[in-house]
């Protein structure tokens, strides 16, 4: 994995780590950044738990791919991120959600960065 690929993979890893920690430490601010309100009761538990797991899990997968030089980890995190973009569009199409263009664009950029980084890792035999 070359230096450029490592840097491109590290950017979403760090951003996801920061978002995951923010959901654990300051969930109301994390929710606001994503255009959400912090829910109450069990909904809050699910919201904080799910969002923390999404961001921390994504970050961990990226770091695992970088450390082990195993492209599968980067592909897995790419799949998670691109599906988020796809499902945002589906929410807009079918459920009267606002089209979160800036979030979708960032998710597609992160996916591209991770796919490029994965392509720079030699394939295992």
Q: Quick: pLDDT tens for 54-90.
A: 999 999 999 999 999 999 999 999 999 999 999 999 9
Give the pLDDT score at 44: 97
Whole-angstrom distance, CA of residue 72 vs CA of residue 70: 5
Is the predicted pLDDT of residue 36 greater than 70, yes or no? yes
What pLDDT sits at residue 79?
98
- What percentage of the chain exceeds 70 in pLDDT? 98
What is each CA distance from 116 to 1, 2, 41, 106, in whole angstroms? Answer: 10, 11, 41, 15
Average pLDDT (19-41) is 96
pLDDT above 60 for 125: no
pLDDT, averaged across the chain? 95
Torsion angle, alpha carbons of 104, 28, 62, 73, to 10 = -80
- What letter would DSSP give residue 36? -
pLDDT of residue 38: 96
Specify whether the CB–CB gap between 97 and 112 falls below 8 A.
Answer: no
pLDDT digit string, tens, across residues 88-109: 999 999 999 999 999 999 999 9
């Amino acid at each position: 994995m070359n230096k450029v690929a490592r840097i491109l993979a590290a950017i979403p890893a760090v951003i996801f780590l920061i978002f995951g920690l923010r959901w654990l430490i300051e969930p109301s601010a994390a929710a606001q950044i994503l255009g959400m309100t912090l829910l109450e009761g069990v909904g809050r538990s699910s919201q904080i738990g799910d969002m923390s797991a999404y961001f921390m899990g994504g970050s961990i997968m990226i770091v695992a791919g970088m450390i082990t030089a195993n492209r599968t980890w980067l592909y897995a995190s790419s799949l998670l991120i691109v599906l988020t973009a796809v499902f945002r569009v589906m929410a807009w199409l079918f459920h009267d959600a606002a089209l979160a263009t800036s979030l979708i664009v960032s998710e597609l950029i992160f996916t591209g960065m991770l796919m490029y980084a994965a392509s720079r890792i030699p394939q295992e035999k």
